[in-house]
Amino acid sequence: MVELIRRYSKQDGTWFELERLLRVLERIPAGIRPERAPRGGTRFKLEQRLDPETVAQLVADYEAGVPTTQLTSRYHLGKSSVLRLLAEAGVAMRKRPMTPEQVDEAVALYEGGLAYRQVAAQLRLDRTTVWHALKAHGVVFRPANEPGRRRRRET
């Protein structure tokens, strides 16, 4: 094939590069796969990118207490991919609902004047978790256009 390209190519050095690439590829042992797809390159299905040992290590890390957010960066995967791999492995997912004490503190902070996002930041929780907990507790949310509320800068 390289010879065919060399014959019909209008570029002088193309066939030299193709032969060099072919020699490099022949030296790579069979079964070697990259751990992750190159940035900006072609994305492959998880089964093509991850070998069973990597998936087993991901499961072990999760069961050891590593949060999914860290697993996404460690294994260069999206959160949905990590969650799917864990579900396929039959791992019991851990949910971290707010404790009653945290809910009481969040209610007090919100009613004290903080925005629910500020409450979430102070409690080191996800903002949607705090919002749902406040809503479930029956908190009446302040309107978004309340006087004195900081507005976004207009660009």
Contact present, 77 and 44 (Cβ < 8 Å) = no
Global pTM?
A: 0.40
> What does the pLDDT look like over 51-65, one tens digit per residue?
888 889 999 999 998
Distances (CA, A) of 67 to 41, 52, 56: 27, 20, 16
> What does the pLDDT look like over 80-117, one tens digit per residue?
888 889 998 998 887 777 889 999 999 999 999 999 89
* pLDDT > 80? residue 119: yes
Domain that holds residue 58: 46-88
pLDDT for res 143: 84
Same domain, 79 and 104: no
Same domain, 51 and 79: yes
pLDDT band at 24 (very low <50, low <70, confident <90, very high): confident
**Average model confidence (pLDDT) across the chain:** 78
Same domain, 84 and 100: no
pLDDT for res 155: 47
What tokens does 119 get? 């409450």
The Cα 65–Cα 60 span in angstroms is 9
> What does the pLDDT look like over 42-53, one tens digit per residue?
555 666 667 888
Please identify, among 88, 105, 121, the residue that sits at the C-terminal boundary of a domain.
Answer: 88
Q: Residue written as tokens 């995967």?
A: 77
Same domain, 102 and 150: yes
Q: 23 lies in a domain? A: yes
Q: Give the count of domains, the chain.
A: 3
Q: 109 lies in a domain? A: yes
What is the number of residues in the chain? Answer: 155
Q: 118 lies in a domain? A: yes
Q: 1 lies in a domain? A: yes
Same domain, 117 and 151: yes
Question: Exposure of 40 by Cβ count < 10 A (0-12 exposed, 13-18 middle, 19+ buried)?
Answer: exposed
pLDDT for res 139: 92
Q: 62 lies in a domain? A: yes
> What does the pLDDT look like over 136-149, one tens digit per residue?
999 998 887 665 55
Same domain, 20 and 54: no
End-to-end CA distance of the chain: 57
Q: 40 lies in a domain? A: no
DSSP structure class, residue 37: P
Q: 37 lies in a domain? A: no
